A and B are shown apart, each in its own frame.
Chain A
Amino acid sequence: MAHRGATIWSWFGRMLLVVLALVPIYWIVNVSFSGPQALYKVPLDYYPNPPVLENYREVFDVNQFPGNVGNSFIVATLTTLLTLALGAPAAYALARLRVRGRNLILAVFLGLAIFPAIGMMGPLYVAMARLGLINTIPALVLPYTLFTLPLAIWILTHFFSTLPASLEDAALVDGCTPPQAFLRIILPLSAPGLFTSAILIFIWAWNEFLFALIMTTTPESRTVPVALALFAGLHELPWATIAAATVITVVPVVVLVVFFQRQIVEGLTSGVER
């Protein structure tokens, strides 16, 4: 009997988890579909009463928001591609080849991961300004890649080291050169690992705020998180519109989480067992 009691309690616990995770998100969705004055009703309605779409119309009509969404997509995609193009070969070398100064290289990436991003903003801003890149896509993609590279190398090094050691030898016996072995045998086999890192990098870049705030000064060049944060400055806290913009921002992330949950978990937990 004690066992059944425990089962009920843990079922209750799981429901509580779901409620705690989702209620704040539900609330934003609710506000986004309610009229602008709904929040000032006493007592509050806990569901859209009546549901309206005007907040979404407002987001798309009045603001640069669609353009901002586009910027975010481009920045996140390019960051992902550049990080993988740089990180995958490096991780392969670190995982499977004899590398001189291996520990030093690992230390460099670790140091980069630990250095406070806030301190790099000033110098990177100056660098991007000198290159005339402020308000352009590269002004975000280049710094972002700097921050996602350690993460990608961490995940991919782990992934490459889990592949069987004999793979390259077999390829070499079959007449491949070492670069061919990497390109034709290892890379295709590591598609799952690459994909996992890609999702995490994309989410990171999609969500980044600090650099996006500093590196962009015009409404057209902003990414979604910055546009969202600056909504508040435009009008007098238009919560309903902010809520609609928030929901739009969150949709891609939610889609990624729902469809690629397993890959994300793999990425987050890779290398922990070692």
Chain B
Amino acid sequence: MIRGQERRLALWLLLPSLVFVTVLGAFPILSQFVLSFTDLNLRFPADRGFVGGANYARLVTDAVFWQDLGNTLLFTVVSVGLELLLGLGAALLINRAIRGRTALTSTLMMPWALPTVVAATMWSLILNDRIGLVNSLLSRLGLISERVLWLGPKLAMTSVILADVWKTTPFVAIILLAGLKSIPRHYYEAAELDGANRWETFRAITLPLLKPFIAVALLFRAMDAFRIFDLVWVLTGGASGTETLSVYIYKVLFRYSEMGYGSTLTIALFVIVFLMSLGLIRSMRVQAE
């Protein structure tokens, strides 16, 4: 194909989506940058003005921001950690099944495919301290003598993490299962001939070859977990130490109508997620070399 002709075709093919993204996406993102330097409050729109870096200075000394950053980090590290561990276990179990792999995968995918709001509503019923299934089962088994407040101050974060683990472990498992399937069988046959036991085989063959898949799952999950909103919103509304950065941003923007400071928080969250993704991608590259 002639080079110029090819370039022209490429341009025409790319143009619609680039125009779409520019018109619809660039405007909101840029306006966030601009607004983050103003003190626009929708309750007093006439009073808005350019305040320079004041919002960013406020962010540095905002105790709620740091508290919620801590909550978000805790949520991300614990839930993604558990999801990787359990996802790996589930993938190994499914991969070893001789029959029924398709049915198993379909079953496991159900939690992932549910709307987050539905999953959250479901869990808030199941964890309800008076009429929930969990307390009913535990007390019938004689494991608890009084109602456990799963969504109360002590256990709320644990419950949010558990609900997230239930919903997204399947995603990790599906990615890792694809990884396991991509490992050639004769590697394992060779290891068996060499007399390697299961653990040695896992350490020497499975884990290293699975690394790129683990990395992708980790990246996708970490990015999503850091921006978690729906699950927390429905389960606790951000109460009891479960307020994450996205929930805080939602409150600042839509409850306190502080568009200026809310935009600053959005930009901060964007930068954090961006740096985190960059860091993860970098460390994967280093690992791969």
Q: Which one of B17, B25, B174 has the greatest number of beta carbons of chain A within 10 Å?
A: B17
B27 contacts A18, C-beta separation under 8 Å: no
A106-146 residues with Cβ-Cβ distance < 8 A to B are 108-109, 111-112, 114-124, 127, 142-143, 145-146
Stretch at the interface among A47-55, A60-68, A190-198, A239-247: A239-247
Closest to A31 in B: B125
- Across the interface, do B17 and A127 meet the contact criterion of CB distance under 8 Å? no
Task: Report the count of interface residues on A (CB-CB < 8 A).
Answer: 88
Contact of A116 among B6, B117, B212, B249 (CB under 8 A): B249
Also in contact, A21 and B108, with CB within 8 A (given A99-B7, A246-B118): yes
Q: Are the CB atoms of B170 and A265 closer together than 8 Å?
A: no
Given the known interface contacts A93-B14, A119-B32, the answer about A98 and B6 at a Cβ–Cβ threshold of 8 Å is yes
Complex contact B110–A21 (CB within 8 A):
yes
B259 at the interface (CB under 8 A from A): yes
In the docked arrangement, what's the CA distance between A41 and B212, Å? 50
| B122 beta carbon closer than 8 Å to chain A | yes
B118-165 with Cβ < 8 A to chain A: 118-119, 121-123, 125-126, 131, 133, 136, 139-140
Q: Does B93 contact A (CB under 8 A)?
A: yes
B71 CB-CB contact with A under 8 Å: no
Asked whether any CB of chain B lies closer than 8 Å to the CB of A24, the reply is: yes
- B57 at interface, CB cutoff 8 A: no
Measured in the bound complex, the distance between the Cα atoms of B32 and A116 in whole Å is 11
Contact at B106–A257, with CB atoms within 8 Å? Answer: yes
Q: A112-B21, A116-B269 are in contact. Are A27 and B115 (CB under 8 A)?
A: no
Distance (Å) between the CB of A41 and the closest chain B CB?
9
Mask of B59-99 contacts with A, CB within 8 angstroms, 1/0: 00000000000000000000000000000011001101100
Of all chain B residues, the one with the shortest Cβ separation from A260 is B106
Contact between B106 and A123 (Cβ–Cβ < 8 Å)? no
- Tell yes or no: B16 within 8 A of A by CB: yes
Looking at A22, A85, A118, A146, the one whose CB has the most chain B CB atoms below 10 A away is: A118
Contact partners of B17 in chain A: CB under 8 A: 86-87, 89-90, 149, 153
A93 and B131 alpha carbons, distance in the complex (Å): 56
- Closest chain A CB from B226 CB (angstroms): 9
Closest to B95 in A: A10
Select one of B21, B27, B114, B216 contacting A272, CB under 8 A. Answer: B216
Q: How far is the CB of A2 from chain B (nearest CB, A)?
A: 10
User: Which one, B9, B18, B27, B174, contacts A127 given CB within 8 A?
Assistant: B27
Question: Is the C-beta of A81 less than 8 angstroms from some C-beta in chain B?
Answer: no
Least CB separation from B102: chain A residue: A261
- Confirm or deny: B240 has a beta carbon within 8 angstroms of a beta carbon on chain A: no
Q: Is the CB of B114 within 8 A of A250?
A: yes
Chain A residues contacting B270 (CB-CB under 8 Å) are 114-116, 119
Contact B13 A207 (CB under 8 A): no
- Is A97 close to B, CB under 8 A? yes
Q: Does B179 lie within 8 Å of A272, measured CB to CB?
A: yes
Query: Is A268 interfacial (CB-CB < 8 Å)?
Result: yes
Nearest CB on B from A169, distance (A): 8
Within 8 A of A (CB), among B7-41: 7, 9-14, 16-18, 20-21, 24-25, 27-29, 31-32
29 contacts between A and B (CB under 8 A): A21-B166, A21-B170, A22-B110, A25-B110, A27-B133, A44-B131, A85-B16, A90-B16, A90-B18, A93-B14, A99-B7, A99-B10, A99-B14, A100-B10, A118-B227, A118-B250, A121-B254, A124-B24, A124-B28, A143-B24, A178-B9, A207-B113, A210-B230, A214-B254, A228-B118, A242-B121, A253-B113, A268-B171, A268-B175
For the A-B complex with A89-B13, A119-B263, A272-B212 known, give 20 more contacts whose Cβ atoms are closer than 8 Å: A18-B104, A18-B107, A24-B122, A25-B114, A27-B126, A89-B12, A90-B16, A93-B9, A115-B270, A119-B29, A119-B270, A120-B25, A149-B17, A209-B117, A210-B230, A229-B117, A242-B125, A250-B114, A261-B106, A272-B178
